[in-house]
Chains A and B, each alone.
Chain A
Amino acid sequence: MQSETKARVEQLTSPAGAPVAVLRFEGDIASTSKDAVLGTFQALPKDIARLVLLDFSKVDYINSSGIALVIQLLIEAANSGQKVAAFGLTAHFTKVFTMVGITKYAALFATQGEALTAL
């Protein structure tokens, strides 16, 4: 019943010239999204992907289990010295991410352009 979460990785360069790995999610972010969220992140080469952007612009349902997966991703990123930011969340999920404190460890931006400029 839960829609499959799709994830793909795109390599971009920030305006400052830094390589950025963008994880683009599509579908629900829920308990069934572990492979898509954590698996995709873990497959990134840690020595190259120092900056990671999470793209939620094609996600319209995130539940607390999905938020927990994002927190687990942030824990792994922090442990390996990677910087994570996110963009494309709806106003509601921007509020929810802020309420649970995620913004302390990952900045949220409205658009990819804003995120890349800030990284």
Chain B
Amino acid sequence: MSGHAASAAKATTVEVRLPSRLGFEKVALATAASVARLMGFREERVEDLKTAVAEACINAIEHGNRLNEKLSVGVVLSVSEDSLEVKVIDDGKGMKRAGIAAKPDIDRKMHGEESARGMGMFLIQALVDEAEWVAGTGGNSSYVRLVIRLDKEQ
């Protein structure tokens, strides 16, 4: 985005509130994809973002809110001139992530030495430019913050 559109976009935020029910992550990923396309992201990066947002929402629904449909998941997309930030907020205690999520070990999975599941955080970190897990104060409103940047050549 450039010129007037970029300066107008600086303050732009889009918010979505999801029920804690699996499947509704698709609402968030569709919204994130629409915003990213408006910003001019390449389709390859839009697909990366969709998977990262979906996995962040699934974690929030399953682990943060423990599938409690009385709780909702907030998704806040903040548009800036050269990047899109996505915060996925739940009512859980959060997970403090330091460093890089381990790459799934397919051999261990195939031999039953680790769960076939457990790839969400790895995918999030691998597909976006920044991923940060922030534990909420007082035991709730934890969030994961994702950032995807527009390439200069876009």
Do residues A63 and B55 form an inter-chain contact, with CB atoms below 8 A? yes
Q: How many residues of B contact A (CB 8 A)?
A: 30
Q: Which residues of A contact B126 (CB under 8 A)?
A: 99
- Pick the interface stretch among B9-17, B44-52, B84-92, B136-144: B44-52
Known A64-B120, A75-B110, A92-B44; contact A30-B51, beta-carbon cutoff 8 A: no
Q: In the bound complex, how far is the Cα of B117 from the Cα of A28, in angstroms?
A: 17
Partner of B123, one of A28, A78, A91, A96: A96
Q: List B residues 31-85 near A (Cβ within 8 Å).
A: 44, 47-48, 51, 54-55, 58
The closest CB in chain B to the CB of A62 belongs to: B51
Query: Quick one: which of B58, B118, B119, B126 has the most chain A CB within 10 A?
Result: B119
Do residues A101 and B58 form an inter-chain contact, with CB atoms below 8 A? no
Q: In the bound complex, how far is the Cα of B105 from the Cα of A41, in angstroms?
A: 24
CB distance from A61 to the nearest CB of B (A): 7
- Pick the interface stretch among A7-15, A43-51, A66-74: A66-74
Q: Which residues of B contact A64 (CB under 8 A)?
A: 55, 58, 117-120, 123
Do residues B22 and A1 form an inter-chain contact, with CB atoms below 8 A? yes
Contact with B along A68-103 (1 / 0, CB 8 A): 110110110010000000000011100010011110
Q: Which residues of B contact A100 (CB under 8 A)?
A: 104, 106, 119, 122-123
Do residues B58 and A63 form an inter-chain contact, with CB atoms below 8 A? yes
SS of A interface (majority) = helix
Can you list 20 A-B contacts with CB-CB less than 8 angstroms, sorted by A residue number? A28-B26, A64-B58, A64-B117, A64-B119, A64-B123, A65-B58, A68-B118, A74-B110, A91-B44, A91-B47, A92-B44, A99-B103, A99-B126, A100-B104, A100-B106, A100-B123, A101-B106, A102-B106, A104-B107, A105-B106
The residues of A with any CB-CB pair to B shorter than 8 Å are 1-2, 28, 30-32, 61, 63-65, 67-69, 71-72, 74-75, 78, 90-92, 96, 99-102, 104-105
A-B contact sample (17 more), CB < 8 A, given A64-B123, A104-B106:
A1-B24, A30-B22, A30-B23, A32-B23, A63-B25, A63-B51, A63-B54, A64-B55, A64-B119, A67-B119, A69-B116, A91-B47, A92-B51, A99-B123, A100-B106, A100-B122, A101-B103
